[in-house]
Amino acid sequence: MSGMTILFLGDVVGKPGRKAIAEHLPAFREKEKIDFVICNAENAAAGFGITPGTAKELYDAGVDVITLGNHTWDQAETENMLNEDWKVLRPLNYPPNTLGKGWRLYPLPDGRQIAVVNLMGRLFMEPGLDCPFQASRTLMRDLRIGEGCDALVVDVHAEAASEKACLANLWDGKASLVTGSHTHVPTADERILDGGTGYHTDAGMCGHYNSSLGMAYAPATARFEKKGKIRLEVAEGVGTMCGTLAKLDADGKCTHIRAIRIGGVITQAA
């Protein structure tokens, strides 16, 4: 069989991020002949978590699978979504018996299967997580490209670039693409590792970039200057669709990778 083209979209922050995807993804997906789209949407609902309505907006725009992260539990509807919507993944390395799944196989129309894995880092992140390295080693005993799936994508939702890089190295040769989310800043280090795995430390944010990581400056600045219950608000403005595009060969190895930045106020790359 031929190879495939996969797009990973970084953290969607509120309405500007959802709107950017709705405006840019359909045409971009057709232009690049993209087979599968994965999107981290843990900030899609007003900056905090996800709801069925915000998920539907992303599906309607062409997103196939949604990954989450440290804001997984911010919305009350999420528990039902994790039980009922097989397109939504939460981090694999939550403690045992946590609702939902941390990875799944998804079929393509031609019968090939793509595995999507959602991991969360532990460095500078929330407490109570299992080790993402041990969770990865356990999973890859039975799941890697060519064994159990035709392609495999790992979303590493983590703060530290060092942790992301080490997890990517662990998956090198076993995953098609390892791409990071969470920091809301697109990095300039997209590359193919020695074993044929595409890697990008952070795909960036789908949201308004004249902001504090997609949030309005005023409440974000107030959080630095004083104590108290100060709720962040999504910044209003034109959103940018940011992500990572990877082309794979018939063996599921990455042959081409590039950063995607379309719309909004930052330098374009498409």
Active site residues: 71
By the 8 A CB rule, do 64 and 6 touch? no
How far does CA 152 lie from the centroid of its chain?
13
Q: What is the SS3 string spanning the chain?
A: CCCEEEEEECCECHHHHHHHHHHHHHHHHHHHCCCEEEEECCCCCCCCCCCHHHHHHHHHHCCCEEECCCCCCCCCCHHHHHHHCCCEECCCCCCCCCCCCCEEEEECCCCCEEEEEEEECCCCCCCCCCCHHHHHHHHHCCCEECEEECEEEEEEECCCHHHHHHHHHHHECCECEEEEECCCCCCCCCEECCCCCEEECCCCCEECCCCECCECHHHHHHHHHCCCCCCCCECCCCCEEEEEEEEECCCCCEEEEEEEEECCCCCCEC
Residue 225 CB partners (closer than 8 Å, separation 6+): none
Measured between alpha carbons, how far is 177 from 116 in angstroms, rounded to an integer?
A: 10
Count of alpha carbons within 13 angstroms of residue 27, beta-carbon side: 8
